[in-house]
A and B are shown apart, each in its own frame.
Chain A
Amino acid sequence: MNTHPVPERCIRSLLRVTPTDFREAHGADVVQLFRDLYREALRTGGTGAALRIWAHTIWGLIVCALAGRWEQRMRRGKGEPPSPWKPTLSPKRRAPRAAVDGLKLDLRFAFRTLRRSPGFTLAAVLILGVGIGATTTIFSLVDTVVLRRLPYPDPEELVFLDWGYHTVPAFIEWRDNVGSFSAIGGVRYGEADMTEGGMPERLETVHVTEGYLPVLGAEAHVGRLFVADDFAGTPSTVLLGHGLWQRRFGSDPSIVGRSIHLSDRSVVVVGVVDPGFNLPSSGASRQVDVWLPLDENSPEFQNSRNRMLDVIARLDEGVSRETAQAQMDALMPRIAQAYPDQYGRRDGSLKTVQLLPLRQATVRRVRGVLYVALGAVGLLLLIACANAASLFLARGTARNREVALRAALGAGRARLISQLLTEGSVVALAGGALGVAMAFLGVDLLSRYDPGQIPRMENLAVDTRILLFAVVASVGAGILSSIFPALQAVRRDFSEGLRESSVNATVGRGGRRFRNGLLVTEIALTLILLTGSGLLFRSLVGLVMVDPGFQPESLVTISLSLDGETSSQGGTYTAETRVQFVRELRERLEGLPGVRRVAAGWTTPFQQTGVGRCCWGEDFFPEEGGEEDSASQWGLVYPITEGYFEVLRAPLEHGREFTSTDLTSDLPVVILNTPLARRLYGRTDVVGERIRVGEDNLLTVIGVVEGVHHFGLDQGVVPGVYVPYERWGPRAPLLSAVVRTEGGVEALATGIREAVWAIDADLPVEQIVTMRQRVDRSLAAPRFLSILFGFFAGVALLLACGGTYGSMLYAVGQRRREMGIRLALGADKRRVIRLVLWQGMSLTLLGLGLGLAGAWGLTRLLHSILWGISATDPSTFGAVTLLLATVAGAACLVPAWGASRTDPLKTLGAE
């Protein structure tokens, strides 16, 4: 289970305010107890309960701290002498040093003036805080995932042999013949069952070659790592992952040397891997439970069709990647000759195995998206800066006289600018502090709503690097938002400033132009963000609206693995017992209350989503077509039981489903899906046609099913055929059952587990998920991005709206005299409204135009993460433009209306 760094860190820092003796005696206990309670609440009551525990603990700490101080004071009041070791502070204030440096003076002055206008200060701090907070949060994500060095020794020497899935014989060739590698190792992912004491559990296992753990510099937490002897013959030794060791063996160090039962085999534990060690992964990190030595000479691994190894190598010191690549390429002809079907192409050319820096290999899938997110949040920060800048500018004008007076008293321009910049930086740093607090919250939210496909998410935390970033971002934002207003303030003619009354002080042409520029920029940037967010949202909506081809409601799915003797996990299942198991499973499950019907197959829809295609593909030919390649069509083969489509409620376009008679009749039958039928025949009413597979299998089509999305809503319907499980299925251990229920699905899990264990008590049942959950999970990544961008765009819209409003209010204030005169001379109120509106809207329109151009250029970056919608979709562009125009219009209308109600007597009388 994850610890939750933010709440715990919060508790730790609060502990600092409790009395020292309490903290020293029980500080650690409080944190530990809090952690236990928090975990338990999270497990049983969810986030809400956990947050209540958090709040309760914080409250308790505050009470405790107050009570402790009070007790101390009471004790002191009773006449205990003050400790001689703690000198009391002298009440006399230190005399100011003669030479206080400029910065100090600036700072003190900045604090004083800011305190005098709390409204301005608060608004500026809030605006910059939101921008800095959001930027810091996303930066911490990018930093953890993309920028940071990998957590292995000398990580820049590590290379990944691209695309993974290499054969063991090829691996041995590379290991023995590529001189540029100082070490090389391979890993193969798998699963195993542990039946040790109580419930059987399915574990994540990996087989590693001798070089693998040393290449990555892994260390043992307890015991030792593998030695050469461990790698000969069937594995008899294992290493435990730290998580499993804690979970199942109570962190007991005496486990080393004991034997445990793993998939019906007894193996000896030789050590526990260090908790900080994780496998490099391009997706969510795998928690490896058990590490096994890989025996290169076993028949399973010697098979050259068995492509299963991810290979990582370490370059010799000083050797470039190009040199190593050249050596790899030189070896390729020999490997391809020995294994032509693996490393040769049809046209006789050779495939190359690319050496990629390991970090690049792990982040290439997510890097683009993360940088887009960082770009988006950067835009948000710019908008916040523009907003703050216009606040500074307004304030600068109001302080005209003060600045002029100080200049007249001898302050140089540089001095004045530095003073104003200091003010800006102080505001920005306060915003930064707020931003860091927001980043803590944001990082916590991010790790909680982890879409599950980002590597190293578990390392996500706000640390010194991130804090440093926040400080730099704050100072940058402070300078960016106050430099132009500061320059503006000192550029003017001071004598004028002294003469002018504050009522009719104006910014002058330069200032007005700058202010208008800010507004235009703000509108343009907001439009870009809104467009991106709109596109992602439309893309998500489009995905959600895709008809999966079946009805996912009230469906429960179960994944099992009926391992046989030949699999590396070891097991007792054979083809006959598998068929029997499936029959009995269906009967038992259908006997459960609330269950309508049950079917099974190798896989069920949405079991694996994404671009991978599992598990069996073949080339198909129409019977009358020849053997030429052009007539053949590739398709997936899904072995299924009868009732599969009825349970899924997937409509058949033609023909019928399998029935029990199809299993016994001599005629092999098949159901096509519409994409394959169209490709083979150009039509879908093909019932009765026969298709050829491989050498001599002729299958009669008895039905055509409409598209069932198997690999996700974004993946389309893959061409494929359905064949009877009883005939084709039992040769592999794969099994996934799908249960149509009468509504309530939560209560069924226990019944399902018991039904499985009634047939095979040692079979682990890990995955009982509703189909709805599976479908939702497949949408996690687009939803995550959509929410993220939606949040940015929402904040940007709010800032733009406030910015426009403030700006127009200010502009109207500047022109109050003019308005008063116009009204006094008999101008129509509507005319005044139109005048102000036009001033605002002309700027808005300019901003929208620039924004559209920017969005046109930038949304292309979203291309790869959009689905079913063009990155320059005109209707989205139109809708967000209209939205922003409306909001900005409303923001202009209020000040305009106010202007039309100016009382001429009052304004003119104020002179």
Chain B
Amino acid sequence: MDPESLLPLNPNDYLILFTLVAGERHGYGIVKEVEKESRGRIRIDPANLYRSMKRLTRDGLVKDADCRPAAEAQGERRRYYAITDFGRRVVTLEASRLAELVEAGRDRKLIPESVTDR
């Protein structure tokens, strides 16, 4: 499948892929990481997380890793997800697409300097 055909990504899908780039995570890990990365502004609810996961798995962007105990779940087993090579290509393309948008916004003086510096 042509990675371009999946763009632009749904914002939630982008954030999920974004967190998986750093390594395998389970559902709880993804939610927490997204929350941290967005400074607490974005919180994905369980149902929509797994709706995204289902879509991303169907499109081959994400695959099931394995089931293993998770620390914060008191050692109970959780299903982990990993990003596929295809998924990595898609998220890279999406990131550069977003970067272009930001660039364009900066050219039009839509973004104050202080925000970009942060």
- Residues of A at the B interface (CB closer than 8 Å) are 1, 18, 22, 25-26, 29-34, 36-37, 40, 56-57, 59-61, 63-64, 67-68, 246-247, 249-252
- Contacts of B72 on A, CB cut-off 8 Å? 36, 40
Give the contacts of B23-40 with A (CB-CB under 8 A): 27-28, 31
A565 to chain B, nearest CB (A): 35
> A36 to B27, alpha carbons, bound, how many Å?
10
B94 to chain A, nearest CB (A): 21
B47–A18 CB distance below 8 A: yes
B51 to chain A: closest residue by CB = A64
Q: Known A29-B79, A32-B27; judge A37-B46 contact (CB<8 A).
A: yes
B45–A60 CB distance below 8 A: yes
B74 to chain A, nearest CB (A): 5
- Contacts of B22 on A, CB cut-off 8 Å? none
21 contacts between A and B (CB under 8 A): A22-B50, A22-B54, A25-B54, A26-B53, A29-B27, A30-B46, A30-B47, A32-B78, A33-B46, A33-B50, A37-B31, A40-B72, A57-B47, A60-B46, A60-B48, A63-B47, A64-B47, A250-B69, A250-B75, A251-B74, A252-B75
A252 to chain B: closest residue by CB = B75
Contact string against A for B residues 38-81, beta-carbon threshold 8 Å, 1 for contact and 0 otherwise = 00000111111111011000000000000001001111101100
Told that A37-B46, A61-B47, A67-B51 touch, could you supply 4 new A-B pairs with CB distance under 8 A? Answer: A1-B74, A29-B27, A36-B72, A252-B75
B29 to chain A, nearest CB (A): 10
Question: Which residue of A18, A25, A56 contacts B45 across the interface (Cβ within 8 Å)?
Answer: A56
Which 7 residue pairs of A and B lie closest in terms of their CB atoms, listed nearest first? A250-B75, A60-B45, A26-B50, A60-B47, A64-B47, A33-B27, A33-B46
B28–A56 CB distance below 8 A: no
Q: Count of A-B contacts with CB under 8 A?
A: 70
Question: Which residue of A26, A33, A61 contacts B28 across the interface (Cβ within 8 Å)?
Answer: A33
Chain A interface mostly helix, strand, loop or mixed?
Answer: helix
A25 to chain B: closest residue by CB = B54
A78 to chain B, nearest CB (A): 17
B118 to chain A, nearest CB (A): 26
A38 to chain B: closest residue by CB = B46
Q: Known A33-B27, A56-B43, A247-B74; judge A63-B48 contact (CB<8 A).
A: yes
> A31 to B76, alpha carbons, bound, how many Å?
14
B79–A251 CB distance below 8 A: no
> A250 to B75, alpha carbons, bound, how many Å?
4
Question: Which residue of B44, B45, B50 contacts A29 across the interface (Cβ within 8 Å)?
Answer: B50
Question: Which residue of B46, B51, B75, B76 contacts A57 across the interface (Cβ within 8 Å)?
Answer: B46
A39 to chain B, nearest CB (A): 9
Most buried by A among B31, B46, B53, B78: B46
- Contacts of A29 on B, CB cut-off 8 Å? 27, 46, 50, 79
B45 to chain A: closest residue by CB = A60
> A29 to B53, alpha carbons, bound, how many Å?
11
- Contacts of B74 on A, CB cut-off 8 Å? 1, 246-247, 250-251
- Contacts of A60 on B, CB cut-off 8 Å? 44-48
Number of B positions contacting A (CB below 8 A): 22
B63 to chain A, nearest CB (A): 14
Chain B interface mostly helix, strand, loop or mixed?
Answer: helix
- Contacts of B49 on A, CB cut-off 8 Å? 33
- Contacts of A1 on B, CB cut-off 8 Å? 74
- Contacts of A36 on B, CB cut-off 8 Å? 27-28, 72-73
Most buried by B among A18, A33, A251: A33
- Contacts of B69 on A, CB cut-off 8 Å? 250-251
> A67 to B47, alpha carbons, bound, how many Å?
11
B31–A33 CB distance below 8 A: yes
- Contacts of B79 on A, CB cut-off 8 Å? 29
B73–A59 CB distance below 8 A: no
- Contacts of A63 on B, CB cut-off 8 Å? 47-48
A246 to chain B, nearest CB (A): 5
- Contacts of A64 on B, CB cut-off 8 Å? 47-48, 51
> A151 to B44, alpha carbons, bound, how many Å?
41
Most buried by B among A22, A32, A67: A32
B52 to chain A, nearest CB (A): 10
A34 to chain B: closest residue by CB = B46
- Contacts of B48 on A, CB cut-off 8 Å? 60, 63-64
- Contacts of B47 on A, CB cut-off 8 Å? 18, 30, 57, 60-61, 63-64
A409 to chain B, nearest CB (A): 55
A22–B51 CB distance below 8 A: yes
B54–A57 CB distance below 8 A: no
B27 to chain A: closest residue by CB = A33
A605 to chain B, nearest CB (A): 36
> A30 to B48, alpha carbons, bound, how many Å?
9
B76–A30 CB distance below 8 A: no
> A258 to B77, alpha carbons, bound, how many Å?
22
A249 to chain B, nearest CB (A): 8
Most buried by B among A36, A40, A56, A64: A36
Q: Known A29-B50, A60-B45, A60-B47; judge A37-B28 contact (CB<8 A).
A: yes
A859 to chain B, nearest CB (A): 48
- Contacts of A68 on B, CB cut-off 8 Å? 51
A247 to chain B: closest residue by CB = B74
B75–A246 CB distance below 8 A: yes
B13 to chain A, nearest CB (A): 14
A243 to chain B: closest residue by CB = B74
- Contacts of B27 on A, CB cut-off 8 Å? 29, 32-33, 36
- Contacts of A56 on B, CB cut-off 8 Å? 43, 45
B77 to chain A: closest residue by CB = A251
B76–A251 CB distance below 8 A: yes
Contact string against A for B residues 83-95, beta-carbon threshold 8 Å, 1 for contact and 0 otherwise = 0000000000000
> A57 to B45, alpha carbons, bound, how many Å?
5
- Contacts of A18 on B, CB cut-off 8 Å? 47
> A420 to B24, alpha carbons, bound, how many Å?
64
- Contacts of B31 on A, CB cut-off 8 Å? 33, 37
B12 to chain A, nearest CB (A): 11
> A251 to B74, alpha carbons, bound, how many Å?
8
> A247 to B75, alpha carbons, bound, how many Å?
8
A52 to chain B, nearest CB (A): 9
> A67 to B55, alpha carbons, bound, how many Å?
13
> A56 to B49, alpha carbons, bound, how many Å?
12
B102 to chain A, nearest CB (A): 29
> A57 to B72, alpha carbons, bound, how many Å?
20
> A628 to B72, alpha carbons, bound, how many Å?
65
- Contacts of A31 on B, CB cut-off 8 Å? 46
B48 to chain A: closest residue by CB = A60
B43 to chain A: closest residue by CB = A56
